[in-house]
Amino acid sequence: MVYKWLNNSLNKLFPYFCALCGEPAQAHIAICKECHNKLKYIDNKCTQCAIPLTGTAKNSICGQCIMHAPHFDQSTSLFTYNTPARQLISRLKFHKKLSLAHLFGTLLAQFIEQQNRENLPDCIAPRPCSPVTQATAR
Ligand SMILES: [Zn+2]
Ligand SMILES: [Zn+2]
């Protein structure tokens, strides 16, 4: 109860503004509803590596994962890499807008909670940006 009161007070003192348009945002998240609706969530993806799939049944595994099974059972991704998600990812990765990490983390948590309530992940791990960083991360 104290946490909720404190959180609501902080939101009034330090309101969130949309990371895309700069307008007042939703409570506890730095994106307005209009811009949030512009983000294109991936509706069909490989259940193992989470790449977008086209022309296959939902919840299937891609050919790459069938040929070379990754060392994890399941992963997820949120958006197609198009505008406006691409803008946000670029700002986070290349312009050090670290506040966007909170936005993506919140959106990921909301997505997992909505989609996967009975099968919550054991852990959340970042995926390296490129094969070069993947090689050095091992
Ligand atoms: Zn906005
Ligand atoms: Zn896959």
**pLDDT of the chain, 138 residues: tens digit per residue:** 777 787 777 777 888 899 999 999 987 889 999 999 999 999 899 999 999 998 878 779 999 999 999 998 888 889 988 999 999 999 998 998 998 999 999 999 888 888 766 777 778 777 776 766 555 544
What pLDDT shows up at residue 117?
67
**pLDDT score for 132:** 67
Distance between CA atoms of residues 16 and 30, nearest Å: 5
Report the separation in Å between the CA atom of 94 and the middle of ligand 1, taken as the mean of its atom positions: 21
From residue 53, give the alpha-carbon distance in Å to each of 26, 59, 61: 31, 9, 9
User: What is the spatial distance between Cα 73 and Cα 96, in angstroms, rounded to a whole number?
Assistant: 31
- Report how far residue 120's alpha carbon sits from residue 114's, in angstroms, rounded to the nearest whole number: 10
CB 106 within 8 A of CB 28: yes
Ligand 2 centroid to residue 131 C-alpha, Å = 16
pLDDT of residue 6: 79
User: What separation in Å is there between the alpha carbon of 89 and the centre of ligand 1?
Assistant: 15
Distance from Cα 118 to the centre of ligand 1, integer Å: 32
Which ligand has its closest atom nearest to the C-alpha of 103?
Answer: 1
Distance 74 CA to ligand 1 centre (A): 32
pTM for the whole structure: 0.78
